[in-house]
Structures are given as C-alpha cells and as structure tokens.
Amino acid sequence: MTDRGPLTAVSPLDGRYARYTEPLVPYASEQALMAARVEVEVEYLLALADLDATPFAIEGEDRDHLRALYENFDGEDADIVKQLETSGYKEYSATNHDVKAVEYFIREGLPEDLDVANWIHFGLTSEDANNLAHRILLKPAVEDVLVPQLRTLRDELTALARDHADLPMLARTHGQPATPTTFGKEMAVYASRLGRAITRIERAAGELSGKLAGASGTYAAHHAAYPDVDWPSFSESFVQSLGLEHDPLTTQVNPCDDLGTVFDALRGANSVLLDLDLDMWLYVSDRYLGQEAVEGETGSSTMPHKVNPIDFENSEGNLSKANSDLGFLGEYVTTSRLQRDLSDSTVKRNMGASLAHCLIGYRKLETGLGKVTPNEAVMAEDLQANPEVIGEAVQTILRREGHGDAYEQVKALSRGQRATLDDFQQLFEELDVPESVREELSALTPAGYTGIAADLADVE
C-alpha cells in the first residue's frame, strides 16, 4: 500500500475524523511546529539586530524577506526542513536535530546581501525556541478553535434552557423519582457550568509563559558575549512580543506549569460535557428526548427501527480519551530530571492529538444537541405516574403549620410504595388544618411542583 491519505492514516484523528480535526492543522501539525520555530528564530534574529550592542542591523526589505520565511511557510518548506533533519539537503548533512534543521533552513533563506548567518540561534538552546513555538501554537489553538466551539455549545444549551424553561420533568436523584424540575432548568445548569469552565480556559491560555534564558536558564552564553546587556529585560521584551508572559526563572526547560494549568482547565470543561453526554443519553433512553431520524441513515445493522444516540456516545468516548491524555500531559510535562531531560519532547508532540479529541467531542455533542426534541407527552406521563414526589411539598407545608410529625406522616404513606393522588387527598381530609391549607395541599400536582425552575432557566 503506497497511497497515503485519510484511509491509510495510523491515527483516526487524521483518518476517519480528519474533517473534524482540520481546523487544528495550522496549530497542531508537524509543519505548523516547524513554521513556529522559524518564527521564533527569525524574530529573535531581528531583536538581536535592534540591540545597540550587536554589530549588525537588519532593515526594510530584508526584515520583510525574513518574516516571509514563516509567514509564507508551506509544504515545500516543510519538506526542506525535514530533509535537513533526516537525509541532508544541498551541502548540509542530516542534522538528526529538528531545531538545528530550522536554523539551516533560515540560513538558506537569508537575503543574498545579508551576512548574519552566525547570529541565527545566537546563544540559544533548542528549548528556548521549542517552548516558545509550542506556546504560540497552543494559545490560538485553544482561543481560536476550541473556545469558540465551546461557546457554540453553551449557546445551544442556553437556547434549550430558554425554549423549555417551563417544561416540567420528573427529576431523579440516586436514580429514583424526585422533586420535579424543568428540562430548561437542567440545560441551564450545564450552560452555567460550561460558561465558568470557558472563563477558566481563557484565563489559563492568556497566562501562557515562555522562557529565553539559555542552556541552564542563566543567560550564560549571552552574558559571556555581551556582559553589559540586560539580558533578562531583553528576554522579557522578546517573549512578550510573541504574545506570551515571561517566565524569568527556569532551568534549561520552561517548567510548563502554565501548560499543566491549560490542560487542567480543558479537562474541567470536558468533565462538564461528559456529564451532559451521560444525562442526554439517559434522557434518550427514558424517551424524555426524541431524536431526529436522518433520511438514509442506519441506526442498527440488524434492527431497522433504531435511532441510536451515537453522537453523545461518540462525544463521550472522545472526551474521555482527551481527559486521559490531558491528565497524562499535565503530569508529565511539569517534571524534568535536574536541569533537563528530553523525555518531554516526544510527549509534547501529542498535545495536538489531545486537542483534536476535545474538538471531535465538542463537534459530536453539538450534532447530538441539534437532533434532540423534548418529548412532552412522555415527561407528563411520567410525572403523573409518580405523584409521591409531592410528598416533600406536603410535609414542608405541614411543618410550616406546626405539625411536628409531618415528615413521618408522609413517609408512612409513600416510602417504598406507590402512593396515588387519592391517597394524598385522603391524608389531607384527615389532617387537622385550616380549610385554606387543605385547599393549598389539594392543589399540589407533580407537574406544578417545579419551584422557580422556569426563572432559573433564564441564563445569561
């Protein structure tokens, strides 16, 4: 098999689900990482040129030419970088080093009259380029791809909450019939939770921080060459110019606590949505939700009648995989033996895969939400079949009226057995309460006992 395409991809992220993960390609692919490294190295070269201490300058068209190396970086450029690393290119032998390959790529791309090859990667260690490159990719991947998709989900949940704010529905606590709620209010709970999770993700992405401090984090090479330059200030200014916060105190590696915070924030949002996936699956199973049957689709290879909740199930699977990977990443990348070990390098290459599983999970959940319709008749039937849920209201009103044994009276009537509205009416007739209270109790119904759920469903 020589043809390479989605159907021959080793990972389903680039195969079966490629149409879902495509928005992450500019941030999560090998080519994207190459381009980001070129960006860091070029901008660093330009920043060096702007220092009074360095004996060279880069002006006008030469600056534009250099920036075009990453702004116009394409597949052919990526092939050259990969050749430089693995097989050699022109007079260069194979580097077997991905960052050194980027350095040589920039050398090859220098304007003919610009003699600055010796200043490319000046005083840097590979981690200086890599930690910044990973973050200038992760930040937009989260902010421009994942967060907008999460906001779409929140908007859909908000719409469901408002559209069905006053639709009464039997609640279940511990899997048993419980005080009624409304379908809208339950969707509002998820909208609210997701909104807080999004805020947390945005905060974490906004606080991504980079380092540029040399082989052991001491600016040793920079200081040896130019001891009078304030390199920490230079580093801070440069890192901030890339849209990142500056981490001033590191080893060779950026400690990556900031990455761990992002991964944890994403896991938090995913956990909310996993909870939603499970609830929606159960609502479909209980027939509280109907699903739109798409013409031509097959629900089961043997049972023609089935419309399975596959989108919620797919979302659940992908978000579970994402959370497993994000947990591993957050734990792994925040540790390094002494000043540096390289085991995190291959691990960080999987950040994009974790984001991809997130994105698939979000997209599938969006599809699932778009297919469901509340089955009001089934919800009403279930409420009518469980009149014992008004027992809470009955015993609370009786407590208000001074009945110390109110809870016990209702418990004797209803716990572990089916109680009908007629049973409650008989209890009301036997109670020593004013007629107005008896009428108040007699007016109670499961469908009407939803408190202020409808108001709560009006989320921002």
Where in the sequence numbering do the catalytic residues fall? 174, 300
Q: 243 near 139, Cβ under 8 Å?
A: yes
Helix 421-430 × helix 435-442 angle, to 10° = 170
* Pick from 117, 119, 122, 87: nearest CA to 105: 117
Tokens representing 302 are 């043997």
Show the CA angle centred on residue 125, arms to residues 124 and 127, nearest 5°: 120
Q: Which amino acid is at 223?
A: H
Residue 22's identity, in one-letter code, is E
| 14 Rama class: left (phi>0) / alpha (psi -120 to 50) / beta | alpha
Phi-psi label, residue 56: left if phi above 0, alpha if psi -120 to 50, beta otherwise: beta
Distance CA 378, CA 373 (A): 12
Q: Which residue, 120, 179, 217, 66, is CA-closest to 444? A: 179
The answer to whether 25 touches 368, Cβ cutoff 8 Å, is: no
CA distances from 449 to 166, 203, 403 (A): 11, 40, 21
**Pair 105, 81: CB distance under 8 Å:** yes
What single string gives the DSSP state of each residue in 329-392? HHHHTT--STT--THHHHHHTTHHHHHHHHHHHHHHHHHHHHHEEE-HHHHHHHHHT-GGGGHH
- Cα(149)–Cα(152) distance, rounded to whole angstroms? 5
Cα separation of 125 and 105, whole Å?
Answer: 17
Report residue 303: phi and psi, to 5°: -115, 100
> Where do runs of H (alpha helix) occur along 87-182?
98-109, 126-140, 147-163
